[in-house]
Structure 1
Amino acid sequence: MNLTTLVFWIIQISIHGVGVFSKTKAPDVSALNVMFSSLNSPSQLTGWGSSGGDPCGDSWEGIKCSGSSVTEISLSDFGLSGSMGYQLSNLASVTYFDLSKNSLSGDIPYQLPPNAVHIDLSGNSFTGSVPYSISQMTELEFLNLGHNQLSNQLSDMFGKLAKLKRLDLSFNKISGNLPQSFKKLSSLTVLHIQDNKFSGSINVLADLPLDDLNVANNKFTGWIPDSLEDIDNLETVGNSWSTGPAPPPPPGTVSPTSKKSNKEESNKNSAVKSGLVIAGIAMGVLAVIAVVIGMTSKRRRHVSHYLDEDTSQHRSFTPLTSQELSKGNDSNNNNGIDRKSFNSDASIDIKSGVSVVRPPPAPLDPVRSFSDNQFATRLNSRTRSTSFRATSYSLVDLQTATANFAPARLLGEGTIGRVYKAKFGDGKVLAVKKIDSSVFQGRRTEEFSEVVTIISKLNHTNIAEVVGYCSEQGHHLLIYEFFPNGSLHEFLHMSDDFSKPLTWNTRVRIALGTARALEYLHEVCSPSIIHMNIKSSNILLDAELNPRLSDYGLATFYKSRSQNPGGGYEAPECSTKGSSYTLKSDIHSLGVVMLELLTGRMPYDSSKAKVEQCLVRWATPQLHDIDALDKMVDPALRGLYPPKSVSRFADIIALCVQSEPEFRPPMSEVVQALVTLVQRSSMNMRDDLGNSRRMDDYDY
């Protein structure tokens, strides 16, 4: 190589980096690197490596590409062990994904290749639940998770899988009823769910175009729908089927077991009508009468159908809530988890403050199916059907209640103002947020009223409710509920001899409740509300240590400050004035809060060694290292935590704090992941409360 050529290549490397020589897209390479390490670096995967490489250019074992994108991963029966890693969502072009007949164990990763058409993970030793992220894989046609050790119940995740043709969940330990969203599997021809612990009826399968159905060796009850009896390949043995005739259907509905007889009756009616016409003029009057009666009867049935449909939209639906705490818990114990019914087709319009009901789908029984991920995004959130109006307080009354905003009444100081404890003459105690006057410089006087109008209409079990406001003499104040237990920040970072540390179960419950509050703001409110100041000091704790998110709806005021709230919570994409702040930035901040819960460390701590000062930078590389993770856990827990639960919690955190916002999951998926964590951990929330209690009462 002559000098000119050498200089040329040096210039190319300096300008473009080494990656200029790689044919494969960087996200694909990164995902396969992580997979290789998670599979315990198997020697049989020739060409693979734990860092760098060129899967498409170097023809890695089992990998096929189109251009610079990996499109197929075919590693069936390779003797692989370990797991598949946590970056499978990077593989956006993979359509064929087969790791069947290996010895893979642990949970199936929450994120799988998002655009896969064919997924086969059968014949392994996977445990845990079927991952809910499958609900978003709209291109999926083939899914085989059979012959594993999967357990728990199936979530209602199949509403968007209209292309799914073959589904195999056989030979696992899955329990519970078949989800109602099975009715949406309009292309399903093969369903194998034998040798599980399913229970209830199989009526939900009655209308599917199945030609191969195996439900043998479960705990199904009820009757086999007549429409399924004609399936060529049907296996139903080993269940507790009912004998004798099926009961009549509810008024206004059609039983799946009577569809054939209905069809025969319809044909018979047609023949009768034809006979009446042929009979001639002499029978004409009778024919007209018969037709009129038939039409009237049909119209009445039609009206009844829509009345039932309208009624169905108000049914109580809280199956996932009951599943969350069903293991070793008192079903009557809420512990901050909202068990009230919620209209799944309603979103709260924050401009009008009323629930907006969309046209309901056809009625389903016993519970409704959900489309567009409504199951994950709407469950356990609640709205009010009428506008809530905050009470107007006078400045004089607030000055009296706070002892003229005395330092002794100061509860905390935030980005845009201070919060004081207010004691009123009638014994009521509230928290008053006094917003800095500088925030309103150059603003319209109406802006504060507009904000109050919006946030006073919001209502969720995990947000701190705005109960009043004051706007007088240039002062702008918001009045909130008061929570004597203070904030999560105080519990984690300011504990004293009078406090007990938060137990592991309580920490997970706080994370779940906070995620639900953020899900409500992001995905239930219309338009969505970006919080922009998620941090542990804005997560208040009620008497039972349930989280209440505060400071929501004030993003317009944060943007006017010279910089973002920061403090170690801000996402990488955020500019100094917050112009790049999005919903995904909130999710990053929530991930930092969960890191606080995991480690007991502050998001930024200048007293630490330089490499440990920023919590995210220090912790993120270690979240998937079991040994390192054990050393990261908050010492205040004194080793009293389940390692598996900690590992799963770390996986959720890793998704939230990813540097690229597009890779962070939506809040509904974070909620679902935390719910699954609670289910798998068999957490007894009520018994846990006595071990985490702040003893002081903040009596200023």
Structure 2
Amino acid sequence: MGNSELLKTYMFSIVVIFAIFSTPTCFGFTDPTDVLAINSLYAALGFPPLMGWVFVGGDPCLEGWQGIQCVNYNITGIVLNDANLGGELAQNLGAFASVIQIDLSNNHIGGTIPSDLPLTLKTFFLSGNQLKGSIPESLSMLSQLTDLSFNNNHLSGVIPDSFQQLTALTTLDLSANNLSGPLPPSMVNLSSISTLHLQDNHLTGVLEFLRDLPLIDLDIENNLFSGPIPPRLLSIPNFRSNGNPFNTTIIPSPPVLSPSSSTTDETQPPDVNPRIQASGPSSSELPHSSGQQKSQVAKKLLWVAVGGLLILVLLTLALCFRLSRWRKEKSTIKIGDQMKNSMPDVPSTNTSHHKDNKAPRSEVKEEKIETISKNPAPPFPPQLLARERIVVKPVPISTSGGNTSKNVDLPQSFSIASLQQYTNSFSQENLIGRGIIGTVYRAQLPNGQLLAVKKLENATSRLWNDEDFMGLVSNVSKLQNENIVPLEGYCCDHGQKLFVYKHCKNGTLHEALHLDEEIHEKLSWNARVHVALHAAKALEYLHEVCQPLVVHRNFKSANILLDEELNVLVSDCGLAPLIPSSYISLLQISGYGAPELESGSYTYRSDVYSFGVVMLELLTGRKALDRSRPRGEQFLVRWAVPQLHDIEALLRMVDPSLDAAYSSKSLSRFADIISLCVQAEPEFRPPMSEIVENLLHMTKINL
């Protein structure tokens, strides 16, 4: 590559980098989680020229991106074989919500196979690339996998003992790599396998684990297998075994091979693949001329330059963000100091007991709620202002009896093996839902008790060591309130991290409002006011009662659960530290995100905004974000807020299923509360204690 070409490529890279940072995120019909995942894959592959693909955002399903297959708004397939792709695989492939097919075979993809893989995968083809490293042990989680091909790469190490759950696998091709060691014992569980290709590797040991498999096509040529061949294998229709030191009951040690060796080991058959005779790089990895060497050096210099520029841009953005945040925090502290000087002292709340142990509220006067929409909300208490920007960090658990540590009673500990048993290996039949930080499965204990198991995504789980995770479990277990889902247990075993909660029979409020017609019919007007009241009590407990105070950060109807009697239990409380900062855009576009999220700010008042959106769902029966509606009606807040103070428009926007079984006065007061909660300016939103009082007043006078 000449200097001019290098300069052109360098300048193009600069444009690409600035495009990434300057292009506004825009999601459409496609599931936003899938959009972020496909953007991440596109970046890792080096932004290849694929039809329709863009750096940030976009709408893969609606716009028909090259190689992307969809069902409704989810990406279900990525088929880009023979597409001249380079780069590497994204390390967060597991972020795809519903993908069942990935075919990236016959390209030039390097790097390693990520351990974070989609649990929904059925076919996974990466053959004919330049992948290195080992095969990830996380294959054990892909219980739906039917076809797997990693052949013709540069993979090394042993085949992981990860086939216990892969009973649906029919085809496995690991041929033409640098794999070594014996076959793993878990291969005996491959009860559906018909084709197994392991040829052209360095595999050793005996074939005992293959003896009873229902194989039709078995190729183990050019390896170092020893011992007798089980008679059952000889009856396989397509069985190829040349190039192995069989016919001995003693397993010889693999020969020490050297690229410079001019002699052949006595145990090495004459037709062994040349790649097995060398322990150094294969011929395809070595440059054949000085011209290629110069080209590779130029490419390396290019990537170093691009990497340096990217780091510089990131550092600059981080510095700007830090400076902006410092200025805002300084301003917030000044406001807090002014409030402390201008307001009477707020008595501290007694939190020695778990439930609402606060002084009884005084009766709310009728006039107060009548004027709720006319006057700005009173400021938050000083203790909330001072804690607005707190990031809740886990408290490490100490098992010693030191003076600075306390013995904390943790909930029940489950092993990963027991949870696999109770969820039927985390099967699709037991899948309840999938969220930002993990997937929830139904679990049934031997005594018949039902639980809900939240399994953290691998990418999230890896960010937390065991000690910090146990600290988070301790914090979550302390959140005990009648309107918060109780934590029944946890799992921190073999690198897996899971939360175990009470199971709620009637699912989520989102399902009740938008999916389950039977429960929807039970949501009368009074029932909806009841739901809003008790959801508000949960946030009031988090914001103003528990210690330390907690920001929910992911409050929405899908995180409000309903038990057998339609009582409210809010989920995901205390899990805000698990939400990656990179997902802030997801929260922003979900329909529940407050305007201040655009600047990266999330406070207690942001939760109040999200609560107002949930109240709008209860009022209208509409989703917070509904892409199937006309453009002007897709975002519920934008469509509804201008109509909240027009009684005729308000009556038209009420959920038709309520059949006018409500009073206009009750409706108007409900709308007034919503109006305050979704104020664009955070300082005008009321604290949750005031919202609770107003809703409680509505229920007392039985409107």
> TM-score scaled by structure 1?
0.43
> TM-score scaled by structure 2?
0.43
